[in-house]
Amino acid sequence: MSKKPVKIVTIGGGSSYTPELVEGFIKRYDELPIREFWFVDIPEGKEKLEIVGTMAKRMFEAAGKDCTVHLTLDRREALKDADFVTTQFRVGLLEARARDERIPLKHGMMGQETNGAGGMMKAFRTIPVILDIVKDMKELCPDAWLINFTNPAGMVTEAVLKYGGWEKVIGLCNVPIGQYKAAAKVLDIPEEELTFKFGGLNHLHWHRIWDNSGKERTMDVLEGLYNPEAENFSEVANIKNFKFVHEQVRNLEMLPCAYHRYYYLTDEMLKKQLEEYNGIGTRAEQVQKIEEELFELYKDPNLDHKPEQLSKRGGAYYSDAACEIISSIYNDKKQMMVVSTRNNGALDDVPYDCAVEISAYIGANGATPINFGELPSAQRGLLQVMKSMEELTIKAAATGCYDTALQAFTLNPLVTSGYGAKVLLDEMLEANKDFLPQFFKNN
Ligand code: G6P
């Protein structure tokens, strides 16, 4: 029986990650018959869209795969009758990210894309746009799945569920992939022969590992990575691989994720960020240079495959995982993956209806999270503070309520409280005024 042809729409199609997405679909062409691919961007992204879109066409051609690629600035035209919509846009482009990093650092606080003040500000800019996309999807492709990898991916997923009233959404991140690779390296066992169980929030989850014989290997991996003698291993390209304090992490009896360094090693991470802020530039500024290099490569009419340089970006493997989710839904594979989805009681310590990042089975009905139960005190405390901060951030983003935004800033462990939080929030809102109509509606 021939399979139903699939139409995919990618919003933020001009992203430098797009070739990875295309590569992932080419790899799965036989199991997932994509016949139409629509890349959407905004006028400011037109040039990049054309460069990367033309490269995508070359990639399909070189692979001998039949797929029509459309490039458009008209989101509504693209969304009509889509089967899957993937989102990888960045409101305000990398310039906004650079401000998210530089303003808190100027005040001596962590400046990071998804953590601290920067992460909350990115949520304020992104959530109204995703809610708008969902509004269009309700009208133009009511049966489609939304696969989001726009950051902050967990908060964006929760906003879609709670404020968008849209159930068919799955959020995705590449951090677990870095953790699989780390474990496989330490144990010298192929990833596929290990079983991982993750639970927590996006960029804030813990995990446990078992081998094929059913033996738990969590502590072996922990020792192999964070024992003072162990060799440093970088799980994702954008996070400095400072070693966690051995006694503290081993007491967790689970593995932390790469982003836990912002909370468990705050001083070291902040010191490093300040050094870069005063020197080579913050991560967004470094990424701007990598992007220029990548787009120069993408312009080459002879380039028809994903270049090696893309692995310098922290988000490597993201898009491939997105393709796997789509194929798992389409083929009802019930594949186990780590995704952001509604908790539904899988994590006891946070609300039933919030988004968590967790191991789940992915099939025709979307994600079914696997029960993770209760977390020990050390994990639970941080998890609950961060979830409350996320809830407040999402509410502020969706409603434009200033007091709620200030409450989120006050609660965030990487932002100072009181008047310092207010000064920072005010300065960041003002710097983002063009992208935050919800906070300036009375002006
Ligand atoms: C990580 C995160 C992603 C994030 C990326 C940033 O791997 O999981 O959510 O987008 O890093 O990487 P960049 O190269 O943009 O700093």
Nearest-atom index, ligand 1, CA of 173: 8
pLDDT tier for residue 231 given thresholds of 50, 70 and 90:
confident
Q: What pLDDT sits at residue 244?
A: 95
pLDDT tier for residue 1 given thresholds of 50, 70 and 90:
low
CA dihedral (46, 50, 55, 60) positive or negative: positive
Q: Which residue has the higher pLDDT, 97 or 318?
A: 97
- Identify whether 317 is part of a domain: no
Q: Which percentage of the chain shows pLDDT scores above 70?
A: 100
Q: Which two tokens mark 409?
A: 């800033």
- Identify whether 313 is part of a domain: no
User: CB of 35 within 8 A of CB of 334?
Assistant: no
Indicate if ligand 1 lies below 6 Å from the C-beta of 282: no
Rounded to the nearest angstrom, the distance between the alpha carbon of 315 and the centre of ligand 1 is: 4
Nearest-atom index, ligand 1, CA of 203: 8
Indicate if ligand 1 lies below 6 Å from the C-beta of 314: yes
Indicate if ligand 1 lies below 6 Å from the C-beta of 236: yes
pLDDT for residue 281 is more than 70 = yes
- Identify whether 10 is part of a domain: yes
Rounded to the nearest angstrom, the distance between the alpha carbon of 241 and the centre of ligand 1 is: 14
Q: What pLDDT sits at residue 318?
A: 81
User: CB of 96 within 8 A of CB of 409?
Assistant: no
Indicate if ligand 1 lies below 6 Å from the C-beta of 151: yes
- Identify whether 443 is part of a domain: no
pLDDT for residue 388 is more than 90 = yes
The protein residue with its alpha carbon nearest to ligand 1, atom 13, reads 314
Rounded to the nearest angstrom, the distance between the alpha carbon of 150 and the centre of ligand 1 is: 10
Q: What pLDDT sits at residue 238?
A: 87
How far apart, in whole angstroms, are the C-alpha atoms of residue 314 and residue 319?
12
**Domain count of the fold of the chain:** 1
User: CB of 338 within 8 A of CB of 196?
Assistant: yes
Nearest-atom index, ligand 1, CA of 97: 15
Nearest-atom index, ligand 1, CA of 286: 16
Listed residue (269, 252, 261, 265) closest to 105, CA to CA: 269
**Contacts for 329 with CB less than 8 Å, ≥ 6 apart:** 84, 145, 362, 363, 364, 366
Q: Which residue has the higher pLDDT, 105 or 236?
A: 105
- Identify whether 119 is part of a domain: yes
Q: Which domain holds residue 148?
A: 6-92+113-172+286-308
Read off the CATH number of the domain in which 48 is found.
3.40.50.720
**Pick from 96-105, 234-243, 399-408: least confident:** 234-243
The protein residue with its alpha carbon nearest to ligand 1, atom 2, reads 315
Indicate if ligand 1 lies below 6 Å from the C-beta of 283: yes
**Pick from 1-10, 14-23, 407-416: least confident:** 1-10
SS3 35: strand
Q: Is 163 a catalytic residue?
A: no
Rounded to the nearest angstrom, the distance between the alpha carbon of 236 and the centre of ligand 1 is: 8
pLDDT for residue 208 is more than 90 = yes
Indicate if ligand 1 lies below 6 Å from the C-beta of 98: no
The protein residue with its alpha carbon nearest to ligand 1, atom 12, reads 314
- Identify whether 81 is part of a domain: yes
Q: Which two tokens mark 303?
A: 């380039």
Q: What pLDDT sits at residue 241?
A: 87
Testing ligand 1's pocket by substitution, the residue of 148, 235, 238 carrying the most ligand atoms inside 8 A of its CB is 238
Choose the catalytic residue: 163, 259, 317, 330.
259
pLDDT for residue 68 is more than 70 = yes
How far apart, in whole angstroms, are the C-alpha atoms of residue 311 and residue 20?
10
**pLDDT tens readout for residues 169-197:** 999 999 999 999 999 999 999 999 999 99
Indicate if ligand 1 lies below 6 Å from the C-beta of 173: yes
Average pLDDT over residues 422-428: 98
Listed residue (135, 122, 83) closest to 325, CA to CA: 83
Q: 84-87 and 145-148: which strand pairing? A: parallel
Indicate if ligand 1 lies below 6 Å from the C-beta of 315: yes
Average pLDDT over residues 326-341: 97
Rounded to the nearest angstrom, the distance between the alpha carbon of 121 and the centre of ligand 1 is: 16
Average pLDDT over all residues of the chain:
95
pLDDT tier for residue 232 given thresholds of 50, 70 and 90:
confident
Indicate if ligand 1 lies below 6 Å from the C-beta of 115: no
Rounded to the nearest angstrom, the distance between the alpha carbon of 175 and the centre of ligand 1 is: 8
Q: Which residue has the higher pLDDT, 107 or 235?
A: 107
- Identify whether 64 is part of a domain: yes
Rounded to the nearest angstrom, the distance between the alpha carbon of 295 and the centre of ligand 1 is: 18
- Identify whether 354 is part of a domain: no
Q: What pLDDT sits at residue 443?
A: 61
How far apart, in whole angstroms, are the C-alpha atoms of residue 39 and residue 77?
11
User: CB 95: neighbour CB atoms within 10 A?
Assistant: 12
